[in-house]
Structure 1
Amino acid sequence: MENDEFQWLEDIYGERQLDWVRQENTITEDMLLSPTFDQHEARILEVLDSTDRIPMAAKRGSHYYNFWRDAEHPRGVWRRTTWDSYRAEDPQWEVLLDIDELARVEGTEWVWAGAAFLRPTDGEPHRHALISLSPDGGDANRCREYDVVERRFVEGGFDIPSAKNRISWAGPDTLYVGTDFGEGSMTSSSYPRFSRILRRGQQLKDAEPFFEISEDHMMAVAARDLTPGFERDLAVDIIDFYNRITFLRIAGQWQPIEVPTHVTVELHRQWATFRPQQPWEHEGATYLPGSLLVADIDAFMAGERALRTIFEPDDHTSLQSWSWTRDYLLLNLLRDVASEIRVLNPAENWSTAELDACPPLHSVDAYAVDDEDSESGNDYWLIATGFLTPSTLSRGTIGGSPAQVKASPSYFDESSYEVSQHFATSADGTKVPYFQVAPKAMKYDGGNPTLLSGYGGFQQALTPTYSGVIGRGWLERSFTDDDGETRHGVFVLANIRGGGEYGPSWHRAALHEKRHRAYEDFAAIAMDLVERGVTQRDRLGCTGRSNGGLLTGNMITTYPHLFGAVSCGVPLLDMQRYSKLSAGYSWIAEYGDPDKPEEWDYVQTFSPYHLLKEGKDYPASLIWTATSDDRVGPVQARKMAARMKRFGVDNVWFHEALEGGHAGASDNRQAARMHAMSHEFLWKFLTPTT
């Protein structure tokens, strides 16, 4: 393996390294920032800070809880209200915790990371919650016990120091804690290797051992199911992203649920659901990847291994998620990347009906409001959105029609645009779908500035979603060409292999040595846009973050002839050292192990850092990241930009937010800056100078 001349940049907080970052930031900001930039940034921030957004809420007992950021509360407030208040036009919120005030009082720039309630005893209200707060926007967080009735942290209550914690309630005075207990307690992927029992008043070092996994596995998780009548302890040995072993605690011993490691197991009351990632030969039957199977868990553990298939995918349809109400099971499906929802009734031999609430080329998601509520146990939330349809939140009861509760405002003139779906033919003949959002009167003469966005990894599906940020930051921007034609931005969303749009098989088609399929798919869409007359190379840009940053890094190095500009965010780029950086070891299941020569043989072929060549022409590139990102980390972006500059590439720029975590931003102001910089860069290099 080659010598790495920029490995010194891997010291994330080194003063010399941060000096380099500040110098590069200044160069990039001098190039991008202007009064026009400020105007675009302000319009995006207006979207993010809008008080008319839907305040998504989680029902706990009689209250509806919401976390909210706006201009007045940039770090956010955790708050709650009642149902009657929530459905009113102007809900009255009870603020439980003001993160901005907490940061001021404690002198730490806290970033909200979630809350987990203790299930109360019958007849009692929800009161105690574990609040997770990140000190810098990264994945590591501190967990503290909070009393929502007294609206204060519990004096002498549970308080777990900042780490990549995995913590759950095991009872009113007990936690199952996965954290950094010291040397040997974290896996090679930087997640907890142990789960221990911590009792109230006990020191963390005295917590009792409970569950342990191998250091080279990804993560240990233990939890107690406190559902009345179904109380039990579970643990999961997460070997990697796609393999795990689930255990039940029986007679004081951990008993594995005996299925192949690629089969995901979930428990709900008496039911166990099984979802294979690969073909599964079981009891004389073969179950397809992406199927959903069900069995009574007690019978299964007793040796009765018969399974019932309740969903089977086809060439067009995949299962994305599912949610149990009190008496039914909701399945959220994608059919050619548009939503379909089915309702299954276990009491009627798993009979199936379709929920008639999904318009074409839209994304609709249904999930239970509160399956244990005595009155509304079969109620469901319904969230609907589309590229040109502001999101709506409805609530319904299975068997009835949902009623709209909230609607997001419009942030741009959607009536001027239209959505269409197309299929490009990839290098191996596979048809790859993509969505196009374009002006209705657009000319198909190649002159339109077009932004192609993609991800293609970890079985994540990209679906139609309304975005005021894209509407204002890209679609509404315009310039006048040499013929006097007004040209607006075109936005394109790619559904390439490696993602989950067509289930596990679509994902596995681009794993390891087949990774190039994802990049060939993306390139095929770029070429299809040109062939259809939407755009041309000098008007075509692309963007992606994280694994999408690896995607766009490969566009820079392998397909530079297809793009005029590239925005590459919080990226993986050095695939020789990625498994040694931040949480990179956990992604070997996705990409391969560069420390094994036979796997490095193919990993190096999609490692942008190693594919760079001196003297080659590359598209204008913005490589951006965040110092506090403890998932991918900032160093791969640093090294890529530094090497490109050493090779004499004069159209590469680098920017690193000095806070913000893997999202690239810890508040709306930072998020607006991030979006504005990416859009401003792409627009600058894809349109004529005005």
Structure 2
Amino acid sequence: MNSYPHSRTVDQADDFFGENVSDPYRWLEDDVRDSAEVAAWVTAQNVLSSTYLSSLDFRQDIEGHLRRLWNYEKFSLPVKRGNRYFYSRNDGLQNQFVLYVQDGDDVPRKLIDPNEWSDDGATALAFYKASPDGRLLAYMVQDGGSDWHTIKIIDVDTGEVHSDTIEWVKFSGVSWAKDGSGFYYSRYPKPDPGAEFQSLNLNQAVYFHRLGDEAENDRLVYARPHQPSHGFSAEVSSDGSALVITVWMGTDDRYEVVLIDLGRESAPPVQLVTGFNHNYSYIGSTDGRHFFFTDENAPKGRVVSVSDYLNGGKHSWFDVIAEQVGVLAGVSIVGGRIFANYMEDVKSVVRVYSIAGEDDGVVDLPGVGTATGFAGQPEDQETFFSFESFNQPPSLYRYDISKDNYEVFKESAAPFDPADYIVRQVFYPSKDGTCIPMFIAHHKNLEWSSGAPTLLYGYGGFNISLTPGFSVTRLAWMEMGGVLAIANIRGGGEYGKDWHNAGRLLNKRNSFDDFIAAGEYLIAQGITTNRQLAIQGGSNGGLLVGAVVNQRPELFAAALPAVGVMDMLRFNQFTAGRFWVDDYGDPANEADFQNLRAYSPYHNIRSGADYPAILVTTADTDDRVVPGHSFKYAAALQAADIGDAPHLIRIETRAGHGAGKPTDKIIEEYADMWAFLCAHTGLDPYNR
């Protein structure tokens, strides 16, 4: 492709430790809502990409195919409060899930329908939490995909929405007081006009909102004005005795913990965990003890408890469940038992223990895949969990704790047969010899004789694990004749803290080596060829895709970097970017700068090399990874001498980093991406 919209350059260079680093597209960092020039650039790029994508073979057929596959009933895990169950349902193609409430065994009734909130379906129900008796529900509204949320309250009996409104809430939950008089939450100060979607997020604080009060009168509960970079998550302990405040600085799971005695008026905060050295995450409280997950002296996680918390200090900690072979991915206390959800070679194994930590058996899961849930209160006698895999949509189960068995609660009737798909796990060596797991899935009747178009997906960061999970879009790719490969590269959490540390900071390039080695393995095994291999990743995964394409452009036929962190020298200048120094390092530190400069996708595009076809995707209202990252990267790609394959950017409107995106927009986006991959990997999905 030889004709791209003009992207003007500016004479901008920044001095980093004596090196002048050019940034010719700095102007593309401006917010599209405030800059007519950036808005015009976005329009021109979208006209080009839309014209190209709509002309591709199969584009309309793929969209119709996706809509047919998507059109089945879906549910979220239920949450019990009092005698009520709350869960979300989508009848098939609704843009947003609808929240339902069910009183005991009565017929469920609709409580909140976000599809009524906006014409374009881009206003979402981001979060909800019912009061302890299930009479009231606090919920968060998310508009246009922004991370900013607004808290509202609804009466569950009448459906009346109260006048209480709390704005400028971000990275926060809601935790009700035991008496239902109000709730705790965290919010930031109101940003300056025009800075809402780009300015750094600083000075978060914990507040208590009493029902009926104006938000400006909410009581300040906890803050650290001398530490504006600290953030807070507040949770009322399950026994109601304390407010547990988890203090964080970034995305790495290293926390301080503060407890406030709720049984004494104006009780001072007690520092339970000091120093951001380890993960201490609250689980629940029972028998006068508070239980926590920690990775201190246990890289794969263990469970500890504390009783005499008013004195604080390590002397009051007791071991409950020691570190196991698998990674402890989730823990809950329900019905007097501890449910410990482990990852063993990236697959779920749920072990049950007594409150004293004695082994009490294993939950017999429906198969090999991913189990989530097992939430509830210590006194509950039932809990719910979900189970899914690459070829199996989530099914929901009700677990009877007294009987130690479970039954189906809700099951989706998806329009395909899971038996038609093969899922297997392989292990391959990376550049340094490290053994990396990878899942490979495809239709059982796939023809392998000359390799098959293959989509390789990765993430590799922030301790996030890619476990077997169901996706309609991936199923469509496999139905069309493609192979799906998910590489569990270092930087994720698949094998605990050590696996995460091996792919972050100065070790970050291990994750790139692991991903490249995955592609080489797929080719060496005859599964695919470099003319048929596509790669995909979002956010940190977008960085991954951009970095490996720069390193090995000849290895791939096509690339889909989504909402990526592409400028590694300025990522910490916007919104939540400052949190990511935990994984990436700080550009203001010389050693970190040298490392970041060496792999930053925007700064390392190799003119003179033939690059694969690239479709960059982002959204104009993404205030997590601001779209300027993708804008600058796409402009640099289009200006470079990197071959004739198309290098396009698709910019969604009124969509953020991904959460809350309406079904219509998701289907349209994936129809574009899969058509793009078909065109550049040789996949003929309908044998024409």
Q: CA deviation at 1:108?
A: 10
**Conservation of the 8 A alpha-carbon contact between 2:254 and 2:279:** yes
Is 1:194 matched up with 2:205? yes
Label 1:188 to 1:330 Cα distance change in 2 as closer, same or farther (>3 A): farther
Check conservation: 1:511, 1:591, Cα contact below 8 A.
yes
CA shift, 1:235, in A, is 2.0
C-alpha distance 446-429 of structure 1, shift in aligned 2 (>3 A): farther
1:263 has 2:279 as partner: yes
* Paired residue secondary structure (1:394): strand
Greater shift, 637-646 or 590-599, is seen at 590-599
Q: Among residues 24, 47, 60, which one is paired with 1:26 in the alignment? A: 47
The residue correspondences of 1:477-556 to structure 2 (distance < 5 A) are 477=480, 488-556=481-549
Aligned identity (percent) is 25
Q: Please name the residue that 1:110 is paired with.
A: 123
Asked if 2 retains the 8 angstrom alpha-carbon contact of 1:41 and 1:672, the reply is: yes
Distance of 1:118 and 1:325 partners within structure 2: 18
Is this contact kept in 2: 1:189–1:586, CA < 8 A?
A: no
Question: What is the alpha-carbon distance in structure 1 between the residues aligned to residue 109 and residue 547 of structure 2?
Answer: 48
Tell me if 1:47 matches 2:69.
Answer: yes
Residue pair 1:665, 1:674 contacting (<8 A) in 2 also: no
Deviates more, 1:1-10 or 1:533-542: 1-10
How far apart are 1:501 and its partner, in Å?
A: 1.0
Map of 2:435 onto structure 1: 431
Match of 1:219 in 2: 231
Residue 372 of structure 1, CA deviation: 5.3
**Match for 1:8 among 16, 27, 31?**
27
The structure 1 residue matched to 2:585, chosen from 574, 592, 596, is 592
Structure 1: distance between partners of 2:60 and 2:659? 19
CA distance 1:607–1:82, shift in 2 (3 Å): same
| Structure 1 equivalent of residue 456 of structure 2 | 452
Instruction: Give the SS at the match of 1:103.
Output: coil
Unaligned runs of 5+ in 1: 86-91, 121-125, 281-286, 478-487
**2:161 matched to 1:164?**
no
- Mapped contact 1:218–1:586 kept (Cα < 8 A): no
Aligned equivalents of 1:688, 1:302: Cα separation in 2 = 61
Q: How does 1:146-165 map to 2 (within 5 A)?
A: 146-154=154-162, 157-164=163-170
Structure 1: distance between partners of 2:320 and 2:550: 45
Letter in 2 for 1:335: E
* Count of residue pairs brought into register by the alignment: 645
Q: How does 1:208-247 map to 2 (within 5 A)?
A: 208-213=219-224, 214-225=226-237, 227-228=238-239, 230-241=240-251, 242-247=253-258
Correspondence for 1:344: 353
Structure 1 pair 439–81 and aligned structure 2 pair: CA distance change class (3 A): same
Question: Separation in 1 of the partners of 2:659 and 2:312?
Answer: 48
* Letter paired with 1:631: R
Q: Give the equivalent residue in structure 2 for 1:100.
A: 115
How far apart, CA to CA, are the structure 2 residues paired with 1:470 and 1:657? 20
Please say if residues 497 and 509 of structure 1, whose CA atoms lie closer than 8 Å, have aligned partners that are also in contact. yes
CA distance in 2, matches of 1:195, 1:346: 31
TM normalised by structure 2 equals 0.87
**Distance of aligned partners of 1:414 and 1:607 in 2 relative to their CA distance in 1, 3 Å threshold:** same
Task: State the AA in 1 paired with 2:271.
Answer: P
- Relative contact order higher in (CA < 8 Å, ≥ 6 apart): 2
Q: Does 1:380 align with 2:392?
A: no
From 392, 396, 417, the counterpart of 1:393:
396
Alpha-carbon distance change, 191 to 210 in structure 1, aligned in 2, over 3 angstroms: same
How big is the shift at 1:215?
4.3
Change (3 A) 1:32 1:218: farther
C-alpha contact 2:200 2:574 (8 A) present in aligned 1: no
Instruction: Answer whether contact 1:448 1:489 (CA < 8 A) is retained.
Output: yes
Secondary structure in 2 matching 1:31: helix
Label 1:48 to 1:475 Cα distance change in 2 as closer, same or farther (>3 A).
Answer: same
Deviation at 1:274, TM superposition (A): 4.1
Q: Which residue of 2 aligns with 1:63?
A: 84
For the aligned residue pairs, the C-alpha RMSD in angstroms reads 2.7
**Structure 1 residues 176 and 384, CA, compared in 2 at 3 Å: closer, same or farther?**
closer
Q: CA deviation at 1:688?
A: 6.6
In 1, Cα distance between equivalents of 2:424 and 2:117: 47
Shift of 1:358: 5.3
Q: Which residue of 2 aligns with 1:652?
A: 647
Per the alignment, do residues 505 and 561 of structure 1 end up closer, same or farther by CA in structure 2, a change over 3 Å counting?
Answer: same
Q: Within 1, Cα distance between the matches of 2:515 and 2:121?
A: 42
Residue 303 of structure 2 aligns to a residue whose secondary structure is: strand
Q: Take 2:324 and 2:274, find their aligned partners in 1: how far apart are those partners?
A: 20
The one-letter code sitting in structure 2 at the alignment partner of 1:378 is Q
In 2, the alpha carbon distance for the partners of 1:593 and 1:570 equals 21
Cα 1:341–1:223 change in 2 (3 A) is: closer
Q: Distance in 2 between matches of 1:300 and 1:560?
A: 58
Instruction: Tell me what 1:363 maps to.
Output: 370
Structure 2's unaligned 5+ residue stretches are: 1-13, 15-20
Partner of 1:137: 145
Q: TM-score, normalised by structure 1?
A: 0.87
Of 54-63 and 593-602, more deviation after overlay is shown by 54-63
Distance in 1 between residues matched to 2:310 and 2:269, nearest whole Å: 16
